[in-house]
Amino acid sequence: MIKFDHVAKRFGRLHVLHDVSIELPEGECIALIGHNGCGKTTLIKSLLGMVLPDAGQIMFQNQDVKQGFQYRQNIGYMPQIGHYPENMTIGQVMDMVKNLRNGQSKTDMELAEAYQLDKLKDKPMGTLSGGTTQKVSAALAFLFDPKVLILDEPTAGLDPLASEILKEKILKERSKGKLILITSHLLSELDDMVSRILFMKEGRIAFFLSVEELKAKAGENSISKCIIHYLKMGHE
């Protein structure tokens, strides 16, 4: 579904992505993990068109993303920290995003309803707690039933119930054949959600394995223990 082909990016003297080549198939929930500064954010922003690679090609459903921006309508993005106009209410933000999609009729309100955002629709965004802002970001990411979901630290700031609701939604969407890419430092929360692990190190792909393959190689029964094992062993 998504293919990175020899993608490279520099910011001045800093080489952030080194000749990254990988294919991300549909129907998978992939954890993108690695140390801070390893290139995760740049890889995601390159896919979203927020960063232009210096070299290489990114394909979305066999189309070069440089050929147009329409492919982005098939991507739902949940940032780690959502920034919204502080004077706008939740309801106004939701309506604004719907209008930006030119009145696209098919919407998925399941998360918005589960989080009871309709009861908070008149609250200004500037008055919301971090957790409630996360709920709005999550609802917006899933709103247009996208084929691909990119979720950056999605459970950060959410209470246990809200976090569980989001996890169940992720699993439900994965079962529909969607591609879901999650970045997270909370490795213990990934065990029940993800099917593959994409580990980056210093701008390169260190490994891309199914959870089963990773556990078998590490001899561990949880993702967090597998990653700790990998780091201790210093594998390339």
Complete edge-to-edge strand list for the sheet that includes strand 63-64: 14-24, 2-11, 55-60, 63-64
Q: Which pLDDT score, from 0 to 100, does residue 132 have?
A: 97
Q: Which pLDDT score, from 0 to 100, does residue 103 have?
A: 59
Give the pLDDT band (50/70/90) at residue 233.
confident
- In sequence order, the 6+-apart residues with CB closer than 8 A to the CB of 14 are none
Domain ranges of the chain: 2-233
Asked if CATH classification 3.40.50.300 holds for the domain at 2-233, the reply, yes or no, is yes
Give 43-58 pLDDT, tens digit per residue.
999 999 999 999 999 9
Separation of alpha carbons 196 and 167, rounded Å = 16
Q: Would you list the DSSP string of 169-227? A: HHHHHHHTT-EEEEE-S-GGGTTTT-SEEEEEETTEEEEEEEHHHHHHHHT-SSHHHHH
- Residue labelled with tokens 């691909």: 148
Angstrom distances, CA of residue 14 to CA of 51, 125, 168: 15, 36, 39
Mean pLDDT to the nearest integer, 104-130: 93
In degrees and rounded to multiples of 5, residue 173 shows phi and psi of -70, -35
- 95-104, 125-134, 221-230: least confident range: 95-104
Separation of alpha carbons 151 and 68, rounded Å = 23
Give 128-165 pLDDT, tens digit per residue.
999 999 999 999 999 999 999 999 999 989 999 999 99
Dihedral in degrees, nearest 10, Cα atoms 85, 89, 95, 96: -10
